[in-house]
Structure 1
Amino acid sequence: MEEVGKVRLNFLRAMYVFIVIGLGLSNTPEAISEMGRAADSYTVINAMLMGFMILALVGVFFPLKMLPILMFELLWKVIWLAMFALPIHLSAGLDEYATDVAFACFIGVVLTPLVLPWRYIFKTYFVR
C-alpha cells in the first residue's frame, strides 16, 4: 500500500486541529450552557458535534485512521450546500445565520479535498 508523505500527514493534522478549534469555539460553549436544560434536536446536534470534535482531536494523533471523519465532513457540507443552502439562496435568499453556515461549509468544501490523500483513500476503501 502506498505511503502518505509527512507533508500530507501534517496537512491532515492541521485540518483536524482546524476542526477542533472551530467546533471548540463555536459549539462547545453553547453545548455546555444548554447542558441539562432541554432534550431537543438542537441538543442532539450539539452532542453530535462535540463527539465529532473529540474524534477530530483523535485525528491529530492518528490522521490516517480518522480519515472517515474528514470524508464525512466533506460529504455533509456538500450535501447541505447543494440541497439546502443553494436552493434557498436562489429563491428567497439566505438569512444571516444561513449565510454564516454556508460560508463555513464552503471553506470546508474547499480545504478538505486539498488535504485528503485521495490515492490512499481510493486504495484503502475502494480497492480490494
Structure 2
Amino acid sequence: MNEVSLFRLYLLRGVYLFIVVGLFVKVWPEIIHHDTPWELKEGVVNCMLAAFSLLCALGLRYPLQMLPILIWEMLWKAIWLSIVALPLWSSGQMDDATMNVAISCLVVVIVPIGIPWRFVFARYVKKRGDRWR
C-alpha cells in the first residue's frame, strides 16, 4: 500500500476542516433553530448536509478511511455542474437560485487538491476487491 505523507494527511485534514467549519456556520444554525417545518427538499438537503458535516468531522481523525465521502461529494457536484448548471449557463437561461447553487458547488475545487490520488488509485483501482463468495 502506498504510504501517504504527513503533509498530505494534514492537507486532507484541512479539506475536512474547511467543510466542517463551512457547514457548521451555514447549516447547523438552521438545523438547531428552525422555527417552522421545512419543505420536503429543504429538509432533505439540510439533513444530508448536516450528516455530511459529521462524517467530515470524523475525517479529521480518520482522513484516509473517510476518503469515499469526499470522492462522493466531488463526483455529485461535478455531475450536477456539468449536466444542470453548465447547459443553463451556456444557453443564458440560468436563474439566480441556480447560480447560487452553482457557486456553492464550485467550492468543490478544493477537494481534489487535498486528496492523495496515488493512495486512491492503489486502494480503489489497483487493489483486488473483496470476494463475492
Quick check: which has more Rg, 1 or 2?
2
1: distance between equivalents of 2:48 and 2:36? 16
Q: State the number of aligned residues.
A: 127
Code of the aligned partner of 2:56: A
2: distance between equivalents of 1:35 and 1:80? 30
Code of the aligned partner of 1:115: G
Equivalent runs, 1:1-128 vs 2, <5 Å:
1-34=1-34, 37-38=37-38, 40-108=40-108, 110-127=109-126, 128=128
Unaligned runs of 5+ in 1: none
Q: Say if 1:40 and 1:125 are closer, same or farther in 2 by CA, change over 3 A.
A: same
1: distance between equivalents of 2:75 and 2:54? 19
CA RMSD across the alignment: 1.7
Q: CA deviation at 1:92?
A: 3.3
2: distance between equivalents of 1:113 and 1:82? 17
Unaligned runs of 5+ in 2: 129-133
Normalising by structure 2, report the TM-score: 0.86
In the TM superposition, what whole-angstrom CA distance separates every residue of 1:12-65 from its partner, at most 9, and x where no partner exists? 000000101111112222233337724612101111110000000000111001
Q: Say if 1:126 and 1:103 are closer, same or farther in 2 by CA, change over 3 A.
A: same
1: distance between equivalents of 2:40 and 2:100? 23
Code of the aligned partner of 2:111: T
SS of 1:89 mapped into structure 2: helix
Taking only the aligned residue pairs, the percentage that are identical comes to: 42
Q: CA deviation at 1:82?
A: 0.4
Code of the aligned partner of 2:6: K
1: distance between equivalents of 2:124 and 2:35? 37
